[in-house]
Each structure stands twice: as C-alpha cells, then as structure tokens.
Structure 1
Amino acid sequence: MSNILRIELTDDQRRELHVLLARRDLTRYTRLRAECIRLLDRGRTAPEVADLLECNPVTVRSAVHRFRGGGIGALPDAPRPGCPGKVLGGDDRATLAELLDRSAAAGVTWTVPALREWLRAQRGVEISADWLWELLRRDGFRWKRTRDSLRHQADPVLQQAAKAQLEDLRTYGWRRTRARGI
C-alpha cells in the first residue's frame, strides 16, 4: 500500500481552482494551499511540491486533507473569531471623497484624525486613523505637508514697522561688519 498522496481533479474542480487562484485578494496561506492542490494534480509528490513552494511537506499534506474534507471551498482561511474588522462602506467613502473634493476647492485642508472625528460625528463610523489613511491612499488621495506659517495673513504695514524696529535694535558693530561683507 502506497503512502503517496495523489490528487486527481475533475475539469470543474480545475476551473474552480483556476478561478480561486486568479483572485487578487487571496491571503498568503489560501494561495499556498491552492497551489499545493494544483501541483499535486499535475503529478508532483508532496516533497516536490513542498520544495517548489518552499514550505514544509506537512503543510502540503494538511492542504490535501483540507481539500479532501471540503473540496475547493475548504481551501480559504476560516473566519477569525472576535469582532469583525472595521469597514468603511461604499457610501461613506463616496461622501468622504465628496467632502475632500469640496474642501480642496475651498482651500481647506484636513488631517486624518480630523477626518476620523468627522466620520464618527457625521456618519457614526468608528475607524482607526491608520486604516483611514490606508483607505484614502488606496482611493487615490494624496497628502502634502502644510507649512506652519501665518505670513499670508500678516499686515504688510505692520511687518515693515517690525522690520524697522528690529533694525534699530541691532548693534552698531553688527551692521558695520555686515555692510563691509565680513
């Protein structure tokens, strides 16, 4: 009796596996298990598959047992226990994008913590600032560090008066050496 694991997929299972592997949102381990099944179906042994995928043969055997227990549908990761992750819904993201576009046109800038607070107050959405930043980056929003200056709001007459007052306060020796270029 041979102890070699063999997998023979039907045409429907191959198509289903191909569709699964074509998805871009697969977790690392789901993709690994699906690749194990794909390579075993092509006649490779568990040690060869483990060598090709750079994993342990026990991982390959585990993927086979998982597949035999539930088919292609058993390959993805099981749901994690605990609270579900915070998700910003499509309508919330659209409203946020509209707010940012209107604000940019008006010259108003937002910080991520301020946006987070706005989402909590206006939309009732609790989300971390880091995750909100990541979602904004994925949606194509970019940030630019603003300067901490009020120069654009200053009165030019007052600025000239302050410069003249500073000029009067400078010591004579400093002005003299400055004038000579020393």
Structure 2
Amino acid sequence: MPKILTVELTSEQQAEVRRRLAGRDLSRNERRRLECVRLLGRGLTVPQVADLVECNPVTVRDAVRRFTGGGFDALADAPRPGRPALITDEDLKALGALLDASAESGVTWTARELCDWLE
C-alpha cells in the first residue's frame, strides 16, 4: 500500500499561507507549490490536489518535500542562470506607454528604433 502523504499546518502556518497567496509578487510555480501545501493541509490526497491544481502528482510531492525540508522560503523559485536582464520594470512601463501613444497617433516603430530609444 502506498504511503499517504499529509501536511499538518499550525494555525500560524495556515495564516502565513493565506498571506503569501494574497500577494501579487508570486511566480506561477511558487503559487502552485503554496496551493499544494495548503490543500494537503486541509486533508486532501496527492491525486486530489494534483487534479485541483492541474499538475502532476510528482509536482505535489516535490512541493511537500520542499516545504518540510525548508519551510515557506524553500517554495520560492531557484535563481535562474545567466546574465541578469538589463531592462528594468520602469523601462518596460515607459516602452509600453510610448507604444500606446504611438498607436493612437498612427506612428510605427522598427525594432532598431525601439532599441535605440531604450538605450
């Protein structure tokens, strides 16, 4: 018989899960891991959680292993390899505003012109 995987969350941990899920800065994968922990803490089985969260049961088990091994911080995405992006969020917002204004006035941009503008 397979081992039934459960998570017992304290009331403080349940409150922390709710607080984190209410945040807007979570990645899709971190939100999925938190949901897995939350649902298992409510007594659902791994297959039920996988069905509700629309992921593989292996993903649910991985979320539990991460949580039991390192708590909430272990549910965050690992840093991505490679050079960090040079364009900031402010740059992207300004670019979006420029393109919106240009579209309203009928102005078009080439990729080269946009690169020059960003520099």
What interval of TM-score do these two structures reach, taking the shorter chain for normalisation? 0.7 to 0.9
2:27 is matched with which residue? 27
Report how many residues are paired. Answer: 104
| TM-score w.r.t. length of structure 1 | 0.51
1:78 offset after TM fit, Å? Answer: 1.0
Cα distance change on mapping 1:54 and 1:135 into 2, 3 Å: same
- What is the alpha-carbon distance in structure 2 between the residues aligned to residue 19 and residue 25 of structure 1? 12
- What is the alpha-carbon distance in structure 2 between the residues aligned to residue 6 and residue 88 of structure 1? 41
Q: Which runs of 4+ in 1 moved over 6 A?
A: none
- The code of the aligned residue for 1:47 comes to P
1:82 offset after TM fit, Å? Answer: 2.0
1:50-93 Cα offsets, whole Å, 9 max, x none, are 1111111111001000101101111110111222222538xxx5
2:47 is matched with which residue? 47
Q: CA RMSD in A?
A: 2.3
Cα distance change on mapping 1:83 and 1:146 into 2, 3 Å: closer
1:2 offset after TM fit, Å? Answer: 6.4
| TM-score w.r.t. length of structure 2 | 0.75
1:33-52 Cα offsets, whole Å, 9 max, x none, are 00000000000000110111
Cα distance change on mapping 1:45 and 1:86 into 2, 3 Å: same
Q: Quick check: 1:143 aligned with 2:101?
A: yes
* Rg larger for: 1
Cα distance change on mapping 1:136 and 1:70 into 2, 3 Å: same
Aligned pairs for 1:1-150 (under 5 A) are 3-88=3-88, 93=90, 132=91, 134-136=92-94, 142-144=100-102, 145-146=106-107
Aligned pairs for 1:164-175 (under 5 A) are none
Higher relative contact order (CA 8 A, sep 6+): 2
The runs of 5 or more residues in structure 1 that have no matched partner are 94-131, 148-182
Q: Percent identity?
A: 51
Give secondary structure in 1 for the equivalent of 2:101. Answer: coil
- What is the alpha-carbon distance in structure 2 between the residues aligned to residue 146 and residue 42 of structure 1? 54
